[in-house]
Amino acid sequence: MRHYFLNPKTFIVIALTVFCVSANAEAVDPDAAKAFAKQNNCFRCHGVDKDKDGPAWTKIAAKFKADPKGEEKLLHHLSSGETAKFPDGHEEAHMILKSDDPKEIQNLVDWILSL
Ligand code: HEC
């Protein structure tokens, strides 16, 4: 009879868990997100934790983090030119974020949500 230190089934479950957790941790690349935001002038109107014309991204994260559709809503916000309300009361279409690589937009949204 063979003795396993862990039975093979347990081993697979553990391996998969470790794999998923590390894959998740790698999903957000904050440096790439910041560079992408900078390149698109997002910081003209947003601070990471400071309100400018637009709300601080930490505030946006707090608002959308608990929402299971948060990611979807922010992706929609950045692709649709939704009406944005400015502190002085005027409204204009929010800037639309474009990229040849949808993963860049996804990464930025996930990073904002992680703040
Ligand atoms: C010209 C100023 C301006 C620029 C540039 C800008 N934003 Fe905004 N943004 C706003 C304002 C104002 C709001 C608030 C909208 C509201 O609450 O109606 C907002 C809201 C948001 C929200 C929250 C949406 C929601 O539904 O609450 C996100 C996310 C966001 N901006 C991301 C970005 C990103 C990413 C960029 C860069 C691609 C960017 N913004 C560029 C002004 C701007």
pLDDT tens per residue, range 55-113 = 999 999 999 999 999 999 999 999 999 999 999 999 999 999 999 999 999 999 999 99
CA distance 58 to 60: 5
More confident residue, 84 or 7: 84
Q: What is the pLDDT of residue 27?
A: 76
Residues 6+ apart with CB under 8 A from 11: 4
Q: Whose CA is nearest to atom 15 of ligand 1?
A: 84
> CB of 60 closer than 6 A to ligand 1?
yes
- Please check whether residue 91 is in contact with residue 84, taking contact to mean a CB–CB distance below 8 angstroms: yes
Phi-psi sector, 41: left (phi>0), alpha (psi -120 to 50), beta: left
Residue 23: pLDDT band (50, 70, 90) is low
> CB of 86 closer than 6 A to ligand 1?
yes
CA distance 86 to 41: 16
